[in-house]
Structure formats: C-alpha cells, structure tokens
Homo-oligomer: A and B are copies of this chain.
C-alpha cells in the first residue's frame, strides 16, 4: 500500500455497533502496517477544530478491541454536521485538507448514515477537483436501516434484537392480570418502519406476539385503530407503533396531541409522545387500563443485548473499507448483499457513495399487510438472520464493561 496515515470518524446518531466498525477500521489499518491511525473527536466538526486522537495510544491490546466492540454509542464522539456544497464554502474544504495533509493522512474513513455518506461524497469530489490522492470511504451505520443499495445497515440488527426481546418481555408483563390492559409501545423510525417491524419477531410458540404493528409508510387511521382495539377489548393487547405514524392529511399523530399544548401550574408547556397520546385515547374509548412504553434511546444503545451477527458485520464493514481504500477506491461505501436468507449468507461489496447519500429506503408496501396493521412473514424472515447470536458480555461488578475515551 502507498505510504500515509489513516483517519477515522463517527457521525450521526449512536448505535450499539458503530464502535465495532471503528474496531474493524483500526484493526485492518494496523494489520496493514499503517503508521498513525487517527480518530477524529466528534467527527468532521471536531477535526476542523484540530481535535483528534492517536488510536494506537488508546487501544492498546486485543482486550481493548473486544471492549470497543461491546461499547455502545460513538467512542470518538459524534456530530451532526452537514458539509456545505463546495461552491458555497470552499474555504472549509481547504481547511479540512490542510489538516489532513498536516497529519499526512492518505486514507479517510467515515462511519455514519445518510449525512455522513454525503460528507464522504463531497470530500472525495473535492479531492478529485484538486488532484489530491487522499482516499475517502464510507462505512454505513444506522439503527433505522433506511440506507439505499445495501441489504441492511449495521446497527439495525442489534436494535431489532433489543426490540424483539423487550417486546416479548412486555407481552409477558402486559398479559399478567385477569382484566384487560392495553399497552402501546412506541418505536423509533420517523419515516421508515424497519425498527417497528421488528416487533413482529416476538411472535413464536412461547409468545402471543403483538396485536398490531403500525408503520409510518402507510397512513394511520385513528378510528380504525381504535375500532380494532375496541373489538378485542375483553383481553389484554400489546400494540407496536412507529413514532413517525401520520394521519391521512400528513400530520404526525403526536402532533395531534400538541395542538393545544398544556400549560402546567409552573406556567410551562408540556408535550407528549405518540404512544402516550394513543394510550390516553384508548383509555377514553374503551375504559381499559392502558400503558405506554417508549423505547427511546434504549433501543439504540442497549449493547448488552447486541446481535453478534450485527457486531461482526459492523466490524467487517470497517475492515472491508480499509481493504478497498488500499486497493485504490475512493468515494465509495461498503454495502451488504444477501446471497441467501436460509442459510444466511451475506457478502460485502463496494458501491458509489452517492447512491447512498441522501436517499432514504422505506419498507416496501407489499410487506405491510392487514390494512396497515401488520407486517408480512417475508419481512420478519428478512429481519431474523440479523438478530442471531449474542456477544458474551465482559461483566465487571455486575454490569457490562465499556471502554471510554478520556
């Protein structure tokens, strides 16, 4: 490989396995004899402030790499920073490249979602325009699974495993009394229902499964929803809804609860989420006891129940990005292609980063069934291999051990 150093950054929302991709980049770069492997602190934004670390100083041995694979969120810190168009602010690009040159960086890796792929794209285009030989590679991550081209995205499998496990537990909990109670579980995914669809995993010979699954891809009909609940109101029910469900007129359901925002006794406004809103609505309609559960950030950081398949694929994605860059690729991203579902066979490929940047992949409508209240077996079958296997946790004092950048 050509001489020169590596720099790697993490960007966008955290996942349980974004650090496994970092471990993959680090390990491959080290194994390829790279001298310095830098980590940007807080992504490109930190880099612009000259904030970076020497990763060989931070990750000393194999145990550190194993801990990194088990640590949720972004070890290097993250940012939400969208690069402007080159024509809008060329100086910014000049600044970035000056820093990269100062560090003798020849390989640049950026682990993230849509926006991060946009960053990778712009940097590689700018490099081309100034005849720089620095190579830029994207490594995909997002719990939302909404990246185009790739079969799925690292981070999704672990979130889906958390959702499947927690829903099973919530169903056991919710069905315990001899009177009906309705539990509404709110799951992330503003525009794409992949995560909410993972609620379907719960259904098995030891679990009744959820009663409804509502994704943001199809309009949410409040009346039909309530009528379905009402029809079964003599038994306990658990329903899974996406935070992003919208009514026919394009309004988020949670917005409905916010039009006349409450003012409390301290004089402050109070907002409420979709599940809370629907739980109240159901209570009024049916008289049943209701509960709302929001998985909130737990679903993207519960590395203690990460999918081993996901952790390993995230690692592979990082290491394959290094391999590709060494082989001369730039402006590309590692993607996954499914060879078969059963047995599960998955290979990586390299794709143009602009096929991923700024594109959003939603759940195909043919996988949403039952008048928009369930998902097809084909969708559940698609998810299943991604949640297989567990990482043996490294427990210290009864809690999972992490590695933290000080």
Q: Which residues of A contact B (CB under 8 A)?
A: 14, 41-42, 45-46, 71-74, 77-80, 161, 164-166, 168-170, 172-178, 183, 201-202, 204, 206-207, 222, 256-266, 268-273, 276-277, 280-281, 284, 291-294, 296-298, 300-305, 307, 384, 387-390, 393, 395-404
Contact = CB atoms under 8 A, between A and B. Distances in A.
A399 B161 CA distance: 7
B284 A293 contact: no
Nearest to A71: B172
Contact of A266 (B161, B183, B222, B270): B222
Copies of chain A in the complex: 2
A201 B260 contact: no
A170 to B, nearest CB: 6
Nearest to A387: B398
The winner among A73, A262, A263, A271 for most chain B CB atoms within 10 A is A262
A169 B277 contact: no
A178 B77 contact: yes
A277 B281 CA distance: 20
Given A41-B178, A272-B276, A384-B397, 20 more contacts: A14-B172, A71-B172, A77-B176, A78-B177, A165-B400, A166-B302, A169-B298, A169-B304, A169-B400, A204-B396, A257-B262, A257-B265, A260-B265, A261-B262, A268-B281, A270-B276, A271-B280, A293-B298, A387-B399, A390-B393
A152 to B, nearest CB: 14
A277 B297 contact: no
Nearest to A51: B178
Contacts of A14: 172-173, 176
29 contacts: A45-B178, A72-B169, A72-B172, A72-B173, A77-B176, A79-B177, A161-B398, A168-B400, A169-B298, A170-B301, A172-B301, A173-B301, A204-B397, A206-B402, A206-B403, A257-B270, A258-B264, A259-B265, A262-B272, A268-B280, A269-B280, A269-B284, A270-B280, A272-B272, A291-B296, A293-B296, A293-B298, A384-B397, A388-B398
B301 A46 contact: no
Nearest to A263: B260
Contacts of A169: 72-73, 298, 301-304, 400
Contacts of A269: 280, 284
A270 B302 CA distance: 29
Contact of A384 (B273, B384, B398): B398
The winner among A45, A177, A305 for most chain B CB atoms within 10 A is A177
B266 A281 contact: yes
Contacts of A284: 268-269
Contacts of A261: 262
B270 A264 contact: no
Contact of A297 (B80, B173, B201): B173
Nearest to A74: B176
Contacts of A302: 166, 169
Nearest to A15: B173
A164 B399 contact: yes
A74 B46 CA distance: 50
